[in-house]
Amino acid sequence: MKVLVIGSGGREHALVWKIRQSPRVSRVFCAPGNAGIGEIADLVSLTPDDIHGLRRFAQQEGVDLTVVGPELPLSLGLVDEFEAYGLRVFGPTRQAAQLETSKAFAKEFMRRQGIPTPYFGVFSDPDEAQRYIAEVGAPIVVKADGLAAGKGVMICPTVQEAYEAVDEIMRARLFGDAGDRVVVEEFLEGEEVSFLAFTDGQTVLPLATAQDHKRAFDGDRGPNTGGMGAYSPTPLVTPALADRIVQEVMIPAVKGLRQRDIVYKGILYAGLMVSRESVKVLEFNARFGDPECQPLMLRLRSDLVEVMEAVIEGRLAEVTLSWDPRPAVCVVLAAEGYPGMYETGKIITGLDDLQHWQDGVVFHAGTAKVDGAFTTKGGRVLAVTALGADIPAAITTVYQAVKKISWPGMHYRHDIGQRALLYRATLGQNSSGEAGQ
Ligand code: AMP
Ligand code: GLY
């Protein structure tokens, strides 16, 4: 069969890499992809927002399955369009994807379904938002309602900063229409974990556990990014906690949508804040996490294409997932300046050395190939991902590989996976993360 993957990041490279391993797949296309993906799939020069162009391409080429990586095409109704033309596509419809694309929708939905989430108010009037802030006090979080490329969340230690956040989002319109409404939300402390599950709208099938590292610099300092690294499994999510998340978050979400006549098919990703006392949902995403997808794909033993087909056909109850018991750690190599302004076009050295790497894969994110050389073309450039007998071994292996790669200004975090070790040391748990897988 022919498969089309939409997107161009490290996540999509990992998906293409995994899909290619399916004995059922004869050809993989990726639109638009990147230089690394171009080594293993046919690149198609269509952008993820070109819904009609992508649909026409899938029809012309006889694509049997389309897999959507990022949220933008979901929010534009790509899945609805493909389904209207009888094309098989993995991902939620536009309505279902509102769980990610509108924070106000997601928060109100959670309140009605009794899904645990920080207390909040939704406002389309800045004065009202500021009155609410004065009432509840700080620290407090102010979020633009719509998609703001991961930058629409402002953590405000003081009431004054929260007022300014409302001004920037709603009055200065820093994120355009995404700031028509704001969500003002309780600030939570704890450990953030990513919980991903396949669902066909009925059955919820969790993936292995994972934790992302969102801040730009070591020790969780600096600005938020799309993700600077991830590992799987995480000992933070014990089997008991995973069960609780399924019962209290994932099933109520899927069921609540169904009650509204929305059948959610695809990946449902809950971004959770976990503390000793509680588990609360910070956000839902309607897609695989990037970079969580990279360690997860390295560990998944099941045929991803079969699982995706079961989702589309509503047969997920028949499926179980099989995982490599070894943990995987992914380190993102970023351009100087990321997540702010950065330059592109730097020549990347050291990749040849890792071409036949046994213990992992260098997934490409923002790369191009110019005159036979790989160059940087984005903020997150590479996602180096390795397996190890345990988390310390995976960490050692991944950083040995990272050391071989360089370009002017390259930066990365040196502490990916350390939270797992810290947690093990403080609570005396073992690191196998039996949870999970
Ligand atoms: P979001 O896009 O809503 O997940 O927010 C981006 C990041 O901001 C999260 O990954 C957290 O690190 C942080 N964040 C969001 N909401 C809260 C909150 N209520 N309390 C503490 N941190 C938060
Ligand atoms: N790694 C976080 C995200 O994909 O949203």
3-state secondary structure of 308: helix
Ligand 1 pocket list (CB less than 6 A): 118, 141, 143, 153, 155, 185-188, 192, 214, 224, 271, 282-283
| DSSP states along 27-92 | EEEEEE--HHHHTTSEE----TT-HHHHHHHHHHHT-SEEEE-SHHHHHTTHHHHHHHTT--EES-
- The total number of residues written for the chain in this structure: 437
Shortest-distance ligand to the CA of residue 380: 2
Here the tokens at position 169 are 């989002």
Ligand 1 centre from 282 Cα, in Å?
6
Give the list of residues 6+ apart from residue 166 with CB closer than 8 angstroms, or none.
126, 129, 130, 133, 142, 182, 184
* Closest residue by CA, ligand 2 atom 4: 289
Å from CA of 151 to ligand 1 middle: 10
| Distance from C-alpha of 270 to C-alpha of 196, rounded to nearest angstrom | 6
Q: Which two three-digit tokens encode residue 398?
A: 């991944």
Output the CA 267–ligand 2 centroid distance in Å.
13
Residue 227 alpha carbon, nearest atom of ligand 2: 1
Distance of CA 270 from the midpoint of ligand 2 (Å): 10
Residue ranges of the chain that CATH labels 3.30.1490.20: 125-180
Ligand 1 centroid to residue 288 C-alpha, Å:
18
Say whether the peptide bond before residue 70 is cis (omega within 30 degrees of 0): no
Fold of 125-180: Dna Ligase; domain 1 (3.30.1490)
Location of each CATH 3.40.50.20 domain in the chain: 2-93
Q: What is the DSSP letter of 325?
A: S
CA 126, 131, 132 angle in degrees (round to 5)?
100
Question: What residue type is 420 in one-letter code?
Answer: A
Amino acid 437: pLDDT: 63
Question: Which atom of ligand 1 lies nearest, measured to the CA of 118?
Answer: 19
**Under CATH, which architecture does the 2-93 domain have?**
3-Layer(aba) Sandwich (3.40)
Q: What residue spans in the chain does CATH classification 3.30.470.20 cover?
A: 191-427
Q: Among 234, 269, 296, 416, which is best to mutate for testing ligand 2, by the most ligand atoms less than 8 A from CB?
A: 269
Q: What pLDDT is attached to residue 430? A: 42
**Ligand 1 centroid – CA 164 distance (Å):** 18
Ligand 2 atom index nearest CA of 290: 4
Q: Determine whether 247 is exposed, middle or buried from the number of CB atoms within 10 Å of its CB (0-12, 13-18, 19+).
A: exposed
- Give the distance (Å) from ligand 2 centre to CA of residue 253: 19
> What are the per-10-residue average pLDDT scores of the chain (437 residues)?
98 98 98 98 98 98 98 98 98 97 92 96 95 96 82 91 94 87 93 97 98 96 93 95 97 98 98 92 97 98 98 98 98 96 97 96 98 97 98 98 98 96 61 47
- Torsion angle of the four alpha carbons 177, 148, 204, 325, in this order, in degrees rounded to the nearest 10: 170
Match domain 191-427 to its CATH number in 3.20.20.150, 3.30.470.20, 3.30.450.20, 3.40.50.720: 3.30.470.20
Query: What's the 175 CA to ligand 2 centre distance in angstroms?
Result: 19
C-alpha angle with apex 213: 78 to 242, nearest 5 degrees? 75
42 CB burial (10 A radius; 0-12, 13-18, 19+): middle
pLDDT at 175: 87
- Which residue ranges have their beta carbon within 6 Å of ligand 2? 212, 226-227, 285, 289-290, 292
Q: Give the closest residue (by CA) to ligand 2 atom 2.
A: 289
